[in-house]
Every structure is written in C-alpha cells, then in structure tokens.
Structure 1
Amino acid sequence: MESPMEASSDDEQAPSPVCRSRRAHEAAMVGPHLFVFGGYCLLGDHEHDFEFQRNAVYAFDTVRKAWHLHRAETESRSPPPACTGASTIAVGRVIYSFGGLEVVLSSYYSRQFSNSVFALNVDTMTWRRCEDRGGRRIAGRDKCAVCLIDAGRVLMFGGWSARIDADVLEAGAQWVPDSNDVVGWNNESYVFDTESETWSSLDASGPRPSPRAAHSLVKIDASRIVLFGGREREQRLNDIHILNLDAMCWSGKIVQPADPTILWPSPRSLHTMNSVSYGPHVGCVLLGGMGVDGNCCDDFAWHLNLNEMEWTKIPWCSDEFKRTWHKTCTFSSGPGYFEFYVFGGSPDNIWKPHSEDLGGPAFTSFGVKSLYLSAMEAACKYEDRIRSDLKFLPLKIKQEFGIRLSGFKMQDHRTN
C-alpha cells in the first residue's frame, strides 16, 4: 500500500488549506512530518463556540513547507471519538494517543475522562484502539504527560481525572481532590508496553513527584527523564524531578534556589518541553505555559542544561512563541542540529471569552547547521543565478534540491 507520505500531488492527498488554529490538540513528529489532530477551534465570539477535531489528520511537510489533509480510516467501526487534552507520542511510525476528555453527544458539556489508547499508523493512515491485554484497570484522565522509556515502552505520569477509588488507584500513588471533591490530580506512574499492549506500574524507588496535571515529561538521554511544573489545586509548579533510568530512582524535588541571581522559570502549567542537546548543552527546551495569574508566562522560552542544572533564557524566540496549551515537536536534520516547531495554543488567558487561537507552525532551530544543508538553502535562495549549472548535479542531489526549492518558494510566498 502506498504511504500517504509518498502520495503524488494530484491525488486526494494534495496540499490542503493550512491546518486551522486550535488548542488542547495532539501533535507528533514522524521524520520530517508534523502530524496534528484533535483539540478544538474557536468558531465565534462565544467562549464555547468551537468544534472538536480528531479524525481529520493534518501533516505538515517541513521540507516542502506544505500541509496535507488525511481522512484517517479505522480498523473497526468505532473511530476515535472527538477529544481534547490527550497526550501523544510517536513510537517509530505509529502515533499513540493516551486518555483525554472525550466528547459525548457532540456537546462541550457532555464529556468524559478517557482511559483509551489509540494508535495511528502514519503509513496506512489507519486508527486502531489498543485493547489492554493484561486486564489492568486504569482510571480515565486528561492532561497527563507521556514520554518514551525505551523503543517500545511509554511512561505515563499524573493527570486530571474524576475520583479514583482505592481499589483502582495505583499502589503508592495519591489522588488529590479539588474544592468540589469531584475531580482532582494524581501522581500515578504507569508504563505502557506497545508490543504486548499491557499496562504495568513503574518500578522505581525514591520520592515520587507530587500529584499534578498539565506538566511536562521528557527523556533527555539514555539514562534520564525530566519532569517539570504543572498544576495541583490552585498552585502552579516549577519544580524538577529526574528519573534515573539506570538506577530506576526518582531524584526528589529540585526547587528554585533562594539566590535571586540564579535564573529559574516561573511556575506554570500547560507548557511544553522537548529534548534538545547540542554541543555542551545537554538538556531540553521549555516553551510557553500558563502562569499563576492565568495568563501566558512572560518568560516563555528557556533551555535547561541538565548536566549543570542551569536554566538559560532563549533570546531569539519572538513573541509568536509566547503561547499556552500548544504543542511543540523537534526534528534532527543533522548531527547536533534541531529544527523546532510549535503549533496552536493561545497567547491569552484561555479561560477568558474571545481568547485568540494561534496556528503555525512557528519555527526556530538549535545547534549548528551542516554545511550540506546550508549549501542547499543558499542554492534555493540564489536559484535564478545558478539555474544553468543545476544539470551538473548528481541525480539524487538534484531531486532533493527540487523538493527543497518548492518549500523555499512556498515559505517565501507566505512571508511576502
């Protein structure tokens, strides 16, 4: 079966209009393609005028700089329901979607916490519900955080959920209620095996991070996973917890030092973190988030050097990166060079009527670009001057140049 990513430009996968701006959506990077689905879009002036989106899967080709719309099929008669606040991760060429708030009867006011896991194969563009073959009961939740432990296992931590009864709550975990004692936050830590499609508890020692939701969880290298921030009750957090995968041990809470000269991000939730390591900078990029006042954080772009436990503000990120309830993805197009994409979210207090939604993707990069890629970009920029010499290029390089040139022209057209 032909992969949708290889479909020709004159079939049903032809470039579509730009993916609509949205929030509370899902996104994942597979190779140079950014996949976006789910969440909701503002349609009018009323705060609840929006439509939920999930079965329409958009793919942004970061080389051609073009969107494609895919109508994903399903292996059963039950396609994934419309959903917000799910957590997503790519494992190979399959995107896994965990939990979320599922829409019932197509109504904003009729939603339920999901404990489902859905898998999207991006080569066949088909959805499949993963049935838990181990029979483990997991409470439904949204705004949990997921990351890879290794090639086939996904760690899920925390989330926002309805009451979790003692016979369902993971041993050693807590469920903390909100003021109405109906919904709340948890610090369950489960591992999903993508091969056996079974859940198990994370077998780790050390002090478990406190209950929270809308936090971030990212694998930095082969031996470390970092958890940062989130919300518990009315408190937004900016603590760090490190899971050592070699010792399978949590570090305990690492908090902002009392020394005011030491830089540290303000407390936040609904932010993103991505592993970005280049040169001596081994760590991750923190972007956006909702601050303690409910507005988007003014200090919205940071890099954490994990070896030195040192935060640095990223000066070149413009205000278009200032947002919350967005998604960020990275793609390494060369050793030590990362392309960084952000899509969706809002620059405003998301609970205010008439709050704005942002599209994208906005783009920046980290590290040093390879000489080959730099030469490609220069050739695209000055193509009119070197056009007569292109026939001397090797066929493979000429084909790649043609693809990159189309993307350069598309981007240049949009900026002008």
Structure 2
Amino acid sequence: MEPSGDDNDECPISHLAQDHLFSILLLLPVNSILSFALTCKKFNSLASSDTLWQSICRRDWGPSCVDALKSSLCADNGGTHVHWMKLYKEVAQLGSVSCLKLTNPVADGLVPCPRASHSLNFMSNCLVLFGGGYEGGRHLDDTWVAYLGYDFRKVLKWQKVTSGSPSGRFGHTCVVNGDFLVLFGGINDRGIRQNDTWVGKILRDETSGITLYWMLLDVGSIVPPPRGAHAGCCIENRRMLIHGGIGLDGIRLGDMWILEISENFCYGAWHEVRIHPSPPPRSGHTLTCIDGKRTVLFGGRGLGYDVLDDVWLFEVSNGYPRWIQVLFNVQNVPGGISLPRVGHSATLILGGGLLIYGGEDSQRRRKDDFWLLDVKSMPSVKTHPVSAGSVALLTRIWRRLKVHGYRPYSRSFHAACSDHSGRYVFVFGGMVDGVLHPAEPSGLSFDGDLFLVELFLALN
C-alpha cells in the first residue's frame, strides 16, 4: 500500500472494523506500525491512538508491568493521562535515570544496619531485606520488611520481622518466585559454605501487621555443592537457577543447577545442567531472567582473579538447554573500558532492558555508573538456531546512562530490585569508598542507605 494524503477509501482494508485493524496491527513490529500510519489520515489516527499503544505496551512489556505502571502513576499524580506512544518511544530511547535518597535515620527510627552481600527483593508491594556481611567479616541473620504500597518515593519505615531462620550468612541468593521467596546457599562468618534451600512468604494482617514466614524446603538428597557469591534467578513454572560461586577451599565454580519446586512450595528437586559450551567459572556475577524463559549472565571474577565483562544467554528450547555467548566489540562502546565488574547489580526494568549498576574492577576500584544492556536484540531460538553454534556477535547492546539528582557513593556487593513495572529500582547497602578514618586505612566502609533509581521519563 503506497502512502496517500487522502482517506484511501478504495482500499479494502480501510473498510475493516477498528477492532479487526487493532488485531492486525498488534501482530506487526513497531516499525511496521509506524509505516502503516503513513498510508493515510485515517490509519495515522488509528495507529497513533492511546488505546493501540497501550495494547502494544502490554504486548511488548507484559500485562502485569503495564498494570503496575498505571497503579504507580495513579499514586503519583492522581491518574494523569498517559501518552502511551510517547512513553514507548522514551523507554526505547532511555538515556537517563534520576536517584532519590530514601533513608533518613533520624526520622525513621529503627533501620537495618549497614551491610554488603545481602539480598533485597520486592514482593507483595514490600521490600524484603535479609542477611549480609558486616564489619569484621561478621554475618547477619536479620530479616527486614518495609511496606511501600504504590508510593515509591516516600521515606520507608522498616520493620524487623524475624531473626535466626535461615541462619546468618552473606553471599547467598534470594529470588521471588510467584508469591514466595526462594533462598539458597551463602557463607557464614566462620567461612562455612551453605547449600540449604529456604522458602519465605509475607503475611499482612491489619491487626498484627507484616510477618514473614521462613521454611526449610525439603529437596531430597541431591543438592548443589555448598557455595557463596554465586548467581541465581527464577524462571517460569516454579523453577530457580543458580550458577557458579565460591565453593569449598575457595575454588570458583562453573556449574549450573535448576531447582524444580512443587505447586504448594513444600518440596523441590535439584538437578545439574551439564552442557557445552558454557560460561567459565566465576563468582560475584549476575543472572537475570528477561522474559520468563531466557536468562542473561554478566560479569563476575574468574579463575585468574580477573574481573570479566562477558555476556551469556541461557535458554531451554524443546527440552534442550543451551548457552549462547553474546559477543560485542568494546571499542564500539563509549566508555566501554569500564564494563568489566564484579559485585554489581543487574535489574530488569521497564521496556525489557537490564540496568547494570556499580560493582568493582580488578583493582577493587568501585563504580557508580549506570549502564543499559539491550536484551531485546539478543538471539532467540528463531534468530539463532541450536545447530548454528554457540556464539552471537551483536553491536550496540550497551548504553551508558546519565544520572540526575542524588549521587550515591561508588559501591559494590550491594543489592537491588525493581517494582513490578520496572520503572523504579531500589538499591540498599554495599561496600563503599567512604571518608578515611584511622580504623579504616583503605577508606572502605559498609553502607546502610536505601535509594531509589527512577527511569527519567516524561509521562504526560
């Protein structure tokens, strides 16, 4: 169909009902929809409508993400109208984030103490903080919960909800799987690696407030070797992945395990996934599930103690698991020489990208930079068949973001999580480069600040 300045009434497609045209447009990629809008005035109006673009956002970002975004916008400004086409474009071209400090110890009263190598999760509209390490190599065994609702910019009130279960540890993984938390492994202050698996669930009651119930998961006799500083994430169908970490005798691991959890979250079963090629051994890296099925691994510290910047994609297709190494030319990335890092965070955000923040390099120099890793361009079963090998060469997958507002310290081994929309990312703690004190000749200190990272968007 050639572009026209009139209504193009002679074209059969122009006589289709609007809901039928919507159904057709939602089968097309965004660039094709924009081209379709140029064909005539009628189609331009249709292809620019908020109704269509809200549906496109639901298609590309997921219904739960859009519903959560609408709820947070309602809390922000009373439900101001959203221009969905403009929002989609801004998310695709995201270049900035803004930071806001949420910790005010004087006003907050009881707050979690500073720590690193802990876990922070968002579930049931709450932040859940567990464990970590503190000065002198001491572990922590406390669990804290802060209720947010949909007002994400407020200074939070933390509540200490339980202690002692699971046992104190740092360098563990804790992920959200449905309405449950799933925790595995970690290291205690005696250097003992753990390989136990726990599930936790938040209970909110108007009378008693918020409680968190932890339960040791029955996983049978086949379990991963003990470890800490590994990476983990959840994928669909009540499954959790873990990879690598530091095992017994300080050896870095390169194995991968999948936990299958029962529907009632009362028992589970671990099995090792052995495939070649696969990422080399490492610790302090990240695993992030990007669409329920595919998982991105980034960075960490390798066998030679060097800090890495490689990107790997894991997926299971037709029952066959595989790793794909995603190659990129660091010389084509502005500032890309600073990409290698360990102890960073990698958080899935609105639009489906990964927000990489902080970490440290091979010389233990901590970072305060934000990067966007474009996972939309990464290979899939359709674009990269199993028979084609295990390497994909991509360009323009990295973008460094500008930072507005509060400027946090450079940090590593902090924890981060996003709300259900992915518009807001919460960051707590970590090891930071603080002011030099006589007792701290290196200037290293543990941080206890909570701050908010918000995607820099104009939403009306």
**TM-score, structure 2 as length reference:** 0.62
Q: Give, in whole Å, the separation in 1 of the partners of 2:458 and 2:402.
A: 19
Deviation at 1:254, TM superposition (A): 2.9
Selected match of 1:231 from 258, 276, 301: 301
With over 3 angstroms needed to count, the CA separation of the structure-2 counterparts of 1:249 and 1:198, relative to structure 1, is closer
Q: Which amino acid in structure 2 is aligned with residue 141 of structure 1?
A: R
User: Are residue 71 (structure 1) and residue 161 (structure 2) matched?
Assistant: yes
Q: Which amino acid in structure 1 is aligned with residue 414 of structure 2?
A: H
Selected match of 2:124 from 8, 12, 31: 31
Selected match of 1:304 from 370, 373, 387: 373
User: Are residue 289 (structure 1) and residue 356 (structure 2) matched?
Assistant: no
Q: In 2, are the aligned partners of 1:209 and 1:252 still within 8 Å (CA)?
A: no
Q: Which residue of 1 aligns with 2:257?
A: 190
User: Are residue 363 (structure 1) and residue 452 (structure 2) matched?
Assistant: yes
With over 3 angstroms needed to count, the CA separation of the structure-2 counterparts of 1:152 and 1:261, relative to structure 1, is closer
With over 3 angstroms needed to count, the CA separation of the structure-2 counterparts of 1:325 and 1:132, relative to structure 1, is same
Q: Which amino acid in structure 2 is aligned with residue 364 of structure 1?
A: V
Selected match of 2:346 from 258, 273, 280: 273
Residue 346 of structure 2: SS of its match in structure 1?
Answer: strand
Q: Give, in whole Å, the separation in 2 of the partners of 1:283 and 1:246.
A: 22
Q: Which residue of 2 aligns with 1:86?
A: 172
Deviation at 1:331, TM superposition (A): 0.4
User: Are residue 347 (structure 1) and residue 414 (structure 2) matched?
Assistant: no
Q: Which amino acid in structure 1 is aligned with residue 295 of structure 2?
A: I
User: Are residue 246 (structure 1) and residue 333 (structure 2) matched?
Assistant: no
Q: Give, in whole Å, the separation in 1 of the partners of 2:330 and 2:122.
A: 38
Deviation at 1:243, TM superposition (A): 1.2
Q: Could you list the per-position Cα deviations for residues 191-241 of structure 1 after superposition, in whole angstroms to 9, with x for gaps in the alignment? A: 1122141101236x5511111111000011144210000111311100000
Q: Which amino acid in structure 2 is aligned with residue 305 of structure 1?
A: D
Q: Give, in whole Å, the separation in 2 of the partners of 1:129 and 1:146.
A: 18
Q: Could you list the per-position Cα deviations for residues 81-107 of structure 1 after superposition, in whole angstroms to 9, with x for gaps in the alignment? A: 1111111101223212110002xxxxx
User: Are residue 112 (structure 1) and residue 192 (structure 2) matched?
Assistant: yes
Q: Could you list the per-position Cα deviations for residues 157-178 of structure 1 after superposition, in whole angstroms to 9, with x for gaps in the alignment? A: 111011xxxxxxxxxxxxxxxx
Residue 100 of structure 1: SS of its match in structure 2?
Answer: strand
Q: Which residue of 2 aligns with 1:176?
A: none
Q: Which residue of 1 aligns with 2:289?
A: 219
With over 3 angstroms needed to count, the CA separation of the structure-2 counterparts of 1:314 and 1:321, relative to structure 1, is farther
Q: Which residue of 2 aligns with 1:61?
A: 148
Q: Which amino acid in structure 1 is aligned with residue 373 of structure 2?
A: L
Residue 195 of structure 2: SS of its match in structure 1?
Answer: coil
Q: Give, in whole Å, the separation in 2 of the partners of 1:238 and 1:224.
A: 19
CA RMSD of aligned residues (A): 2.7
Q: In 2, are the aligned partners of 1:277 and 1:283 still within 8 Å (CA)?
A: yes
Q: Could you tell me which runs of 5 or more consecutive residues in structure 2 were left unpaired when the two chains were aligned.
A: 1-107, 204-210, 378-393, 435-439
Q: In 2, are the aligned partners of 1:87 and 1:146 still within 8 Å (CA)?
A: yes
Q: Which residue of 1 aligns with 2:202?
A: 122
Q: Which residue of 1 aligns with 2:40?
A: none
With over 3 angstroms needed to count, the CA separation of the structure-2 counterparts of 1:242 and 1:261, relative to structure 1, is closer
Greater than 4 Å deviation, 4+ residue runs: 260-263, 351-354, 367-371
Residue 408 of structure 2: SS of its match in structure 1?
Answer: helix
With over 3 angstroms needed to count, the CA separation of the structure-2 counterparts of 1:186 and 1:352, relative to structure 1, is farther
Q: Could you tell me which runs of 5 or more consecutive residues in structure 1 were left unpaired when the two chains were aligned.
A: 1-14, 43-47, 103-107, 163-181, 372-416
Higher relative contact order (CA 8 A, sep 6+): 2
**Which range is displaced more, 354-363 or 322-331?**
354-363
Selected match of 1:257 from 322, 325, 329: 329
**TM-score, structure 1 as length reference:** 0.68
Q: Could you list the per-position Cα deviations for residues 36-86 of structure 1 after superposition, in whole angstroms to 9, with x for gaps in the alignment? A: 1201333xxxxx2x753223424353635322323327xxxx832111111
Deviation at 1:126, TM superposition (A): 1.8
Deviation at 1:154, TM superposition (A): 0.5
With over 3 angstroms needed to count, the CA separation of the structure-2 counterparts of 1:271 and 1:159, relative to structure 1, is same
Q: Which amino acid in structure 2 is aligned with residue 293 of structure 1?
A: Q
Q: In 2, are the aligned partners of 1:326 and 1:343 still within 8 Å (CA)?
A: yes
Q: Give, in whole Å, the separation in 1 of the partners of 2:334 and 2:238.
A: 38
Residue 217 of structure 1: SS of its match in structure 2?
Answer: strand
Q: In 1, are the aligned partners of 2:411 and 2:432 still within 8 Å (CA)?
A: yes
Q: Which residue of 1 aligns with 2:224?
A: 138
Q: Which residue of 2 aligns with 1:200?
A: 271
Q: Give, in whole Å, the separation in 2 of the partners of 1:346 and 1:258.
A: 27
Q: How high is the sequence identity, in percent, across the aligned residues?
A: 20
Q: Which residue of 1 aligns with 2:77?
A: none
With over 3 angstroms needed to count, the CA separation of the structure-2 counterparts of 1:340 and 1:206, relative to structure 1, is same
Q: Give, in whole Å, the separation in 2 of the partners of 1:254 and 1:161.
A: 27
Larger Rg: 2
Mapping of residues 364-379 of structure 1, within 5 Å: 364-366=453-455, 368=457
Q: In 2, are the aligned partners of 1:345 and 1:357 still within 8 Å (CA)?
A: yes
Q: Give, in whole Å, the separation in 2 of the partners of 1:16 and 1:132.
A: 39
Q: Give, in whole Å, the separation in 1 of the partners of 2:253 and 2:441.
A: 26
Deviation at 1:263, TM superposition (A): 5.5
Deviation at 1:327, TM superposition (A): 0.3
Q: Give, in whole Å, the separation in 2 of the partners of 1:277 and 1:321.
A: 25
